[in-house]
A = this chain, B = another copy of it.
Amino acid sequence: MPRPKTHDEALRVKLLDRAGELLSAEGPKALSLRKLAADVETSTTAVYSLFGSKPDLVNALYVEGFRRFQTRTDAARLTGDPVEDLVRLGLVYRTSALADPHLYSIMFTKAVPGFEPNDEAAALGRANLAPLETTVRAGVESGVFADVDPGVIAVSCWGFVHGLVSLELNGNLPSEFSVGDAYETALRANANGWRR
């Protein structure tokens, strides 16, 4: 049997890809190291060589989730109008969450019981809030928003979109509720609430 180079990158990627698939297809409960290893035709020990533990593997998925998030946020076309940009960032947030719902659940809702992001990953997570904070700060400084600590406004906006998206992903919303229509209306109301 041929031997890969030190720190087999191909196997690492295969494990990560398959882990993402298992997660998306069947949820966190179905993401088991044994099934994962079997699907990739390796042993569970390989996961420990490459990642360290199951939480460490999930950490890699967490990082991947935020990478995708960042890509989408960077692609958002902002206008310079704080209210409008808050709405656009909110729409991107939901789009990203719906694109990878199970990654979202790892990133924000502790879907895998034992997992906590390591320091580096947590910092990456926090960095994803930068565009939101920039927009809010600009809005406060230009006098569009009320003279409130921009951190408060930013966290409030984040909580708002996170809450609506979580309820939607968890199936907590009434079934007759059409989120797509209501979401933008709510985003606008939220942004307007911070007007001076």
Residues of chain A whose beta carbon lies under 8 Å from any beta carbon of chain B: 27-29, 105, 108-111, 113-114, 125-126, 146, 148-149, 151-153, 155-156, 158-164, 166-167, 170, 172-174, 177, 182, 185-186, 189-194
CB pair B113 A152 closer than 8 Å: no
| In the complex, chain B residues whose CB is within 8 Å of the CB of A148 | 185, 189
CB pair B152 A182 closer than 8 Å: yes
CB pair A170 B110 closer than 8 Å: yes
| In the complex, chain B residues whose CB is within 8 Å of the CB of A108 | 166-167, 170, 172
CB pair B186 A152 closer than 8 Å: yes
CB pair A163 B152 closer than 8 Å: no
CB pair B189 A156 closer than 8 Å: yes
26 residue pairs bridging A and B, Cβ less than 8 Å apart: A29-B114, A105-B110, A108-B167, A108-B172, A109-B109, A109-B170, A110-B111, A148-B185, A152-B185, A152-B186, A156-B164, A158-B163, A158-B167, A159-B160, A159-B163, A159-B166, A159-B167, A160-B160, A160-B190, A162-B163, A163-B163, A163-B166, A166-B166, A189-B193, A191-B193, A193-B193
With both beta carbons as reference points, the residue of chain B lying nearest to A176 in the complex is identified as B151
Q: How far is the CB of A130 from chain B (nearest CB, A)?
A: 12
> Among B146, B162, B182, B193, which residue has its beta carbon within 8 angstroms of that of A166?
B162
The complex places the Cα of A125 from the Cα of B173 at a distance, in Å, of 11
> Among B152, B174, B190, B193, which residue has its beta carbon within 8 angstroms of that of A151?
B174
